[in-house]
């Protein structure tokens, strides 16, 4: 499962995903700054240890430099992201802004779940079809 947590709209939850973060706290590109800019870790091993994804627009970035500013990177690769457009840390968001972010996140999650369910159903339908054909 890619999304272990369904609470990734919370900065603290995003921070938790960086288990073996290659980022030093002293660098501009550290875990907290990455999480505050909307990223959570999607690393699967050593080779993609710095792979991170935006919880809202889904943009995935890797190859981070220690001097990178996560907000600037986010903006330059996904200017259309609603979180980038707000351009604020979670703690600085107005309640209405925070709610709209959470709402968008929930909509995205629901869509994804719907697509996954549809794929499963399609697979099942195909296997049933195959079985029926085999019986003829
Ligand atoms: Zn984004």
Which residue in 95, 117, 105, 82 sits closest to 14, CA to CA? Answer: 105
How does pLDDT run across 38-96, given as a tens digit for each residue? 999 999 988 888 999 999 999 999 999 989 999 999 999 999 999 999 988 888 999 99
Measured in Å, residue 27 CA sits from the centre of ligand 1 at 21
How does residue 5 score in pLDDT terms, banded at 50, 70 and 90? low
Measured in Å, residue 60 CA sits from the centre of ligand 1 at 9
Rounded to the nearest 5 percent, the helix, strand and coil shares of the chain are 50, 5, 45
Give the length of the chain: 136
Mean pLDDT of the chain: 90
Q: Which domains does the chain have, with CATH numbers?
A: 11-135 (1.10.1170.10)
Measured in Å, residue 38 CA sits from the centre of ligand 1 at 6
- For position 52, what pLDDT does the model report? 95
Measured in Å, residue 96 CA sits from the centre of ligand 1 at 18
Contact 57, 81 (CB under 8 A): yes
Contact 20, 4 (CB under 8 A): no
Measured in Å, residue 88 CA sits from the centre of ligand 1 at 12
- For position 6, what pLDDT does the model report? 79
- For position 46, what pLDDT does the model report? 84
Provide Rg for the chain, Cα atoms.
18
Question: Is 60 exceeded by the pLDDT of residue 1?
Answer: no
- For position 3, what pLDDT does the model report? 47
Q: Give the torsion sign (CA, 56, 59, 64, 69).
A: negative
List of residues 6+ apart from 33 with CB closer than 8 A: 69, 70, 71
- Find the mean pLDDT for residues 86-108: 92
- For position 22, what pLDDT does the model report? 66
Contact 41, 52 (CB under 8 A): yes
Which residue in 36, 39, 71 sits closest to 55, CA to CA? Answer: 39
């Amino acid at each position: 499962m890619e999304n272990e947590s369904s609470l990734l709209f919370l900065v603290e939850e995003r921070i938790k995903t960086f288990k073996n973060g290659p980022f030093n706290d002293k660098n501009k590109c550290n875990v907290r700054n990455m999480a505050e800019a909307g990223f959570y870790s999607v690393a699967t091993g050593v080779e993609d240890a710095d792979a991170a994804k935006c919880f809202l627009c889904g943009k995935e970035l890797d190859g981070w430099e220690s001097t990178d500013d996560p907000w600037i990177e986010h903006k330059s690769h996904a200017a259309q992201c609603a979180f980038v457009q707000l351009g604020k840390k979670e703690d600085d968001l107005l309640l209405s802004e925070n709610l709209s972010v959470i709402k968008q996140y929930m909509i995205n999650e629901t869509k994804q779940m719907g697509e996954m369910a549809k794929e499963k159903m399609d697979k099942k339908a195909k296997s049933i079809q195959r079985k029926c054909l085999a019986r003829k």
